[in-house]
Amino acid sequence: MRITPLGAGQEVGRSCIMLEFKSKTIMLDCGLHPAHSGLAALPFFDNIDPASIDVLLITHFHIDHAAALPYFMEKTTFRGRVFMTHPTKAIFKWLLADYVKVSSLAVDDQLYDEKDLLRAFDKIEAVDFHQLVDIDGIKFTAYNAGHVLGAAMFLIEIAGVRVLYTGDYSREEDRHLMAAERPPNITPEVLISESTYGVQTHQSRVERETQFTKTVHKIVSRGGRCLIPVFALGRAQELLLILDEYWQLHPELHPVPIYYASALAKKCMTVYQTFSNMMNARIRAQTSSGHNPFHFKHISNLKSMNYFDDVGACVMMASPGMLQNGQSRELLERWCTDSRNGVLIPGYVVDGTLGHDIVNNKVDTIPAMSGGPKLPLNLLVEYVSFSAHVDFAQNSQFIEELGSPNLVLVHGAATEMGRLKSALTSRYHESDRQLNIYTPKNCEAVELYFKGERMAKAIGTLAKTALTNNMRVEGVLVSHDFTYRLIDPRDLPEFTDLVSASLTQRLVVSSRAPLSLVKWHLEGMYGTLGKDADDDDAFFVCVFNTVKVKDLGTHRLVLEWEGNSVNDMVADSVLAIILQAESSPASVKGEHCSLFLLSTMDLLLTLRLELE
């Protein structure tokens, strides 16, 4: 088995993992790197042949996991099948349509347009959680990953070897999503897991919600504007639930407006309401009672900045979450010079983005997108992680519970990934269990070797009799998609697309030896020869009831038999005897003896007649 990251190898961004085994090829995720643009943001597609990929699985709708999909489907030779869950497919279309519209690239530099997106969308196939899909020997099942609505981890099985790819996952239930589930009663041979936070430990949910609301309250209480850069969908819905509840409990904040600046908000909220059955028990209970949990009392959707009256304190949630462009970047440039204002970063920010530089205090000024002078960064900068990724405690516990002997770490910066590997190596060094850990770079392959046991199942007529040790069983061994079945030939039409047939072989041999002499030689080798009861031809013998020998006259014999491995060997031996019949000394002696006996008998008969 070969596992090769084309993206997310010792980095966060452009997730794209290649899985090759038993002549089957699967691509896991197909995202763009948020810190780059144009072709530089793509995974390393030039290292592969897209036409060789059988199946492409998308774990969730985020840009770094799905945004390269239209390019890959429409601009390359890929002709395989693409799968994602129903919520992911529903949101994927709107999210990438918005991505194309707000892209700051020139038309010639864009990776794809809206027409490419729509063509790709029509080819995508949606699957349910826990649905087993089998495509030419590739079996996979989606399990809830808890990261965002519709996020899945995929359990893949090829030739009995199982691989679990987590994608981005969270083991903590929040206000609207369930925690990631573990595939039940299964220990995959390989686990491909994210390592985003390495050995870091998250705050408890109560602690981070308290810090978040306290920071927002402090900023707006002094008349400031609070910017919360988020992805358009995902963590944004969690933060909206928190803010709406907090505003409801604090009447003094009611005059302060909360805006959600996203043209997608209204469209995608419909998707959230449609798939509320995939959320946690709290949301399902509210929905079943007739209450819409995503109908917010204190939050207004802002389709465009043209509708925004920037007067006084407010809270603004805007995308993108890493401040590289778009509305969140425009607002940051507008508000960064006023110390009363603040920016609250609620999720993971990738190295190379402005959001990462701000959180890590790497800059005290920011460049203006318009190309003007740099702007001083005077506003308050706070980081409260609501990122729905596992921390070290959750990740290590999941790895231990799953029990896979091989762990491939992806989706993590090189330093975080290295720390996680060291921590896990130390933990398992002290235990009896062996864990092989791999941390490949982009385009660096991990090769694993498996010796799978081959087991054939007897079905149909053969299964009616209980099998015992050392019992001889005969049938046709049928191999299909790495599974083996032993079937009675008469059952082939019922259980397979195959039909049984017999092949009659005929071989004409030139021989001057008469059939009687050939028969004498054959009896010397095989004993008594048979004769087909249905055949009245006197010039005919049958060896072992399998090979018929017939005299055609004019010094020609014909051999006829039903072709199979045993009969073919008998026919070969019969042919060898026929070819030796003329030249064998025993044949000559036998022929002379036969003639002498006939002559003697004729003489005795003549004498007897004369005496009479």
For residues 308 and 327, what is the distance between their CA atoms, to the nearest angstrom?
Answer: 12
For residues 342 and 363, what is the distance between their CA atoms, to the nearest angstrom?
Answer: 16
Strands 375-376 and 365-366 turn out to be: antiparallel
Task: Give the three-class secondary structure for 267.
Answer: helix
* Torsion sign across C-alpha atoms 368, 374, 376, 382: positive
* Torsion sign across C-alpha atoms 551, 553, 558, 560: negative
Nearest to 61 by CA among 129, 165, 150: 150
For 53, counting Cβ atoms within 10 Å of its Cβ (0-12 exposed, 13-18 middle, 19+ buried), the class is buried
- C-beta pairs of 421-428 under 8 Å, 24+ apart in sequence: 423/199, 423/392, 423/396, 424/396, 424/399, 427/396
Please tell me the number of Cα atoms within 13 Å of 39 on its side-chain side. 5
Q: Where are the alpha helices (DSSP H) in 336-368?
A: 354-359
For residues 389 and 560, what is the distance between their CA atoms, to the nearest angstrom?
Answer: 73
Query: CA 217 → CA 246, 281, 308, 313, distances in Å?
Result: 10, 29, 21, 10
389 a catalytic residue? yes
Strands 24-28 and 55-57 turn out to be: parallel
Task: Give the three-class secondary structure for 96.
Answer: helix
Query: CA 177 → CA 248, 340, 388, distances in Å?
Result: 22, 34, 10
Task: Report the 10 Å Cβ neighbour count for 20.
Answer: 19
Of the candidates 60, 65, 217, 389, the residue annotated as catalytic is 389
Active site residues: 389
